C-alpha cells in the first residue's frame, strides 16, 4: 500500500508515543519546539501573502511552490495540535483506542505529501525564478522551509516509510489537474504565448490578471 497513514513500525495504539516524544528532548520541550516552528511558518506565510496577494489575488496559488507552502502551514498547525493532544494522552495514562484517530491520519498523510515535495518546490524555484537574489521572505518560503521542516522531522520519532510515498503522487496529480483547468479556461497564459488563444481577463481577481504575471516569487 502506497497511501498508508499508519504509524508503523509503532502499533496503532502507540500513536501518542510515536508523535509526542523526541529522542533528543523532553515532551514538554518538544511541544515548545513544535510551537516555535509552527509560528515561524505561519509568520513567514502571512508576510508572503501580504507581499504578493494584493497584486495577484487568487492567482497567488497558480504556482506549485505556493501550493506546497500553503500545505506546509496546514501541516505545521496539525503537527502542533497532534503533538499537544498526544502529550496530554501520555500524561493522563488513558487507554488509547486500537485504531489511529482520523485527525492523526490526516496529519500523517499531509506530512508524507509535503516532506519530499519541499525539495522539489525549492529546486524548481531556484531553477526558474527570474528574481536574483530573492527577497528574504521568498528565500525563507523556498529554502528556510526545507531546513525547518526536515529539522522538525528528524527531531521526532515518527519514521517516513515507503508505504507513504503515494501521497506525493496525490499532490502531483492534483496540481496537474489544476494546471489543465488553467489551460482549458485560458487563465495564466502570456499574451505572447505561441498558442495564441485569447484570455479571459480577471477571472480570479487581483489588481492584474494572471497573464501579466511573469515570475514565480
Does 192 reside within a domain? yes
Mean pLDDT score, 131-158: 87
Look up residue 142 and give its DSSP letter: I
Q: Which of 66-80, 126-140, 153-167, 184-198 is the least confident region?
A: 184-198
Residue 45 lies in a domain: yes
pLDDT at 55: 82
- Four-point Cα dihedral 63, 82, 108, 50, nearest 10: 0
Residue 1, domain member (yes or no): no
187: in domain: yes
The answer to whether residue 6 sits within a structural domain is no
Domain residue limits at 146: 12-212
Tens of pLDDT, residue by residue over 49-102, are 988 888 878 778 888 888 899 999 999 999 999 999 999 888 887 776 778 889
Residue 178: inside a domain: yes
115-138: pLDDT as tens digits: 888 888 888 888 877 777 878 888
**Alpha-carbon torsion 143, 4, 35, 68, what sign?**
positive
Indicate the range of 79-88, 172-181, 195-204 predicted with least confidence.
195-204
* Residue 209 pLDDT level (bands cut at 50, 70, 90): very low
Would you state the pLDDT for residue 207? 42
Based on DSSP, count helices (H) and strands (E) in the chain, helices before strands: 7, 0
Q: Which pLDDT score is estimated for 43? A: 94
Assess whether pLDDT exceeds 90 at residue 40.
yes
The average confidence (pLDDT) of the chain is: 81
Q: Cell 487563465 belongs to which residue?
A: 187
Kindly tell me if the per-residue pLDDT of 195 is higher than 80: no
Question: How many whole angstroms separate alpha carbon 143 and alpha carbon 137?
Answer: 10
Average pLDDT over residues 29-51: 93
Residue 181: inside a domain: yes
Give how many domains the chain has, as a whole number.
Answer: 1
- The string of DSSP codes covering 53-122 is HHHHGGGGGGSHHHHHHHHHHHHHHHHHHHHHHHHHHHHHTPPPPSS--HHHHHHHHHHHHHHHHHHHHH
- Domain assignment of residue 217, yes or no: no
Least confident of 21-30, 84-93, 124-133, 193-202: 193-202
Instruction: Provide long-range contacts, Cβ within 8 A and 24+ apart, for 18-24.
Output: 18/157, 18/158, 19/82, 19/83, 19/86, 19/104, 19/156, 19/157, 19/158, 20/82, 20/83, 20/84, 20/86, 20/87, 20/89, 20/90, 21/90, 21/156, 21/157, 22/155, 22/156, 22/157, 23/157, 24/155
For residue 133, how many C-alpha atoms fall within 13 Å in the half-sphere facing its CB?
6
Amino acid at each position: 500500500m502506497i497511501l498508508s497513514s499508519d504509524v508503523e513500525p509503532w502499533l496503532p495504539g502507540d500513536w501518542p508515543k510515536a508523535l509526542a516524544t523526541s529522542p533528543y528532548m523532553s515532551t514538554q520541550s518538544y511541544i515548545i519546539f513544535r510551537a516555535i516552528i509552527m509560528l515561524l511558518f505561519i509568520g513567514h506565510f502571512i508576510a508572503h501573502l501580504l507581499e504578493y496577494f494584493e497584486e495577484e489575488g487568487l492567482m497567488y496559488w497558480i504556482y506549485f511552490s505556493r501550493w506546497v507552502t500553503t500545505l506546509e502551514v496546514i501541516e505545521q498547525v496539525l503537527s502542533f495540535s497532534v503533538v499537544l493532544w498526544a502529550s496530554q494522552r501520555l500524561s493522563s495514562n488513558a487507554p488509547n483506542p486500537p485504531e489511529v484517530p482520523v485527525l492523526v491520519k490526516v496529519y500523517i498523510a499531509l506530512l508524507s505529501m509535503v516532506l519530499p515535495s519541499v525539495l522539489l518546490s525549492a529546486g524548481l524555484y531556484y531553477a526558474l525564478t527570474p528574481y536574483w537574489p530573492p527577497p528574504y521572505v521568498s528565500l525563507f518560503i523556498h529554502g528556510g522551509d526545507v531546513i525547518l521542516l526536515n529539522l522538525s522531522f528528524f527531531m521526532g520519532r515518527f519514521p517516513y516509510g515507503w508505504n507513504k510515498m503515494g501521497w506525493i503522487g496525490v499532490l502531483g496529480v492534483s496540481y496537474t489537474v489544476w494546471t489543465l483547468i488553467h489551460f482549458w479556461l485560458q487563465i495564466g497564459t502570456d499574451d505572447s504565448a505561441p498558442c495564441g488563444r485569447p484570455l479571459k481577463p480577471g477571472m480570479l481577481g487581483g489588481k492584474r490578471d494572471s497573464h501579466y504575471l511573469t515570475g514565480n516569487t
